[in-house]
A and B are shown apart, each in its own frame.
Chain A
Amino acid sequence: GAGVSQSPRYKVTKRGQDVALRCDPISGHVSLYWYRQALGQGPEFLTYFNYEAQQDKSGLPNDRFSAERPEGSISTLTIQRTEQRDSAMYRCASSLNAGEQYFGPGTRLTVT
């Protein structure tokens, strides 16, 4: 079946603009996660949802970052007033329950 999909795959934006990154999890997966991955590093946890409830947002760097999953399926990660330090690969993952997480291809964000 289809895996986790993310869009856009690449996003270039100017500093100060807002961006919205979308994640479509594997159908039926209850849990959805957002990570950020710098080159040569492991993924860094940002936030996660069970159904539509945001269970943990302790990894969001500051209040410019927010995420939602209003119907318990697709999720959007929004970054307001982007800064150059926000440039990274943003990865979404989903899991059926508390099992292994399946990662999407990521969105490469570049802030100029």
Chain B
Amino acid sequence: GQNIDQPTEMTATEGAIVQINCTYQTSGFNGLFWYQQHAGEAPTFLSYNVLDGLEEKGRFSSFLSRSKGYSYLLLKELQMKDSASYLCAVRDRYGGATNKLIFGTGTLLAVQP
């Protein structure tokens, strides 16, 4: 079966650091993506991990452990504009095609002053 779990909501303070966790159990795995989605807008790509370890990209970092089926997104120096839903997605396999994304329900992050 396909299962991706992430917390429904989180709250953090402006300037702080927040970690959003994602665990997955999927029939196939070919990479894990994080997307940001502001209310009423389209999801936008943040990061991609296919190998174990940490990928850093400015204020955002993402970590992957394939053996544990676990990833996290780390947001540093939080700003009010970071208030959004953060979606974890696993790229599955389907026969020889590998581009299908399976999304979690998203974590709604509220950044408070």
Q: Which of A46-95 contact B (CB under 8 A)?
A: 48, 50, 55-56, 58-59, 91, 95
| Residues of chain B at interface, number, CB under 8 A | 23
Contacts of B106 in A (CB 8 A): 40-42
Instruction: Decide yes or no: A45 and B42 within 8 Å by CB, A55-B94, A100-B33, A100-B48 being known contacts.
Output: no
Contact indicator B99/A31 (Cβ below 8 Å):
yes
Contact indicator B45/A45 (Cβ below 8 Å):
no
| Residues of chain A at interface, number, CB under 8 A | 26
- Shortest beta-carbon distance, B2 to chain A, in Å? 10
Contact indicator A41/B102 (Cβ below 8 Å):
no
Contacts of B13 in A (CB 8 A): none
- Shortest beta-carbon distance, A91 to chain B, in Å? 7
B43 CB within 8 Å of chain A: yes
A43 CB within 8 Å of chain B: yes
A2 CB within 8 Å of chain B: no
> How many angstroms between the C-alpha atoms of A13 and B106 in the bound complex?
29
Chain B residues within 8 Å of A, Cβ to Cβ: 4, 33, 41-45, 48, 87, 89, 91, 94-95, 97-106
Given contacts A50-B97, A56-B100, 9 further A-B contacts (CB under 8 A): A40-B105, A42-B104, A42-B106, A43-B43, A43-B101, A98-B91, A98-B99, A103-B42, A105-B42
